[in-house]
């Protein structure tokens, strides 16, 4: 099963002709391609799958998703794995 996760764009820039940004997912920050969402800007929430932002998402929906992931223990697992690799 594939899963897209909402994240908040915290920065945006162009690298080699591709628009990329740092996207924060409930405390985890990753780089994502923003080319598929030209209307999205810093502060917006986007749905990200395998490093590509696919669409903008409402902040309330993002919060509901974070709470569901946390309730399932999935967000904490990822935060723990991220801390260990840093």
What are the tens digits of pLDDT across the range 61-79? Answer: 988 988 888 888 766 655 4
Q: Look at the block and give the residue holding tokens 């800007």.
A: 41
- Give the pLDDT score at 68: 85
Interior angle at CA 39, CA 35 and CA 41, nearest 5: 90
- Give the pLDDT score at 76: 60
Element (H, E) at 83: helix 74-85
CB contact at 8 A, 7 and 20 = no
The number of C-alpha atoms within 13 Å of 33 and in the hemisphere containing its C-beta is 10
pLDDT in tens, 31-47: 999 999 999 999 999 99
Any idea where the domains of the chain sit in the sequence?
A: 5-85
CATH architecture of 5-85: Roll (2.30)
Per-residue pLDDT averaged across 21-38, rounded? Answer: 93
Residues in the chain: 86
pTM of the model as a whole? 0.79
């Amino acid at each position: 099963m594939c899963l897209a996760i909402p994240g908040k764009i915290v920065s945006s820039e162009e690298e080699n002709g591709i628009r990329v940004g740092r996207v924060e997912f409930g405390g985890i920050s990753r780089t994502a391609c923003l080319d598929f969402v030209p209307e999205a800007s810093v502060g917006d929430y986007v749905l990200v799958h395998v490093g590509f932002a696919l669409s903008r998402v409402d902040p309330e929906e993002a919060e509901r998703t974070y709470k569901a992931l946390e309730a399932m223990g999935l967000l904490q697992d990822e935060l723990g794995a991220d801390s260990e690799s840093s």
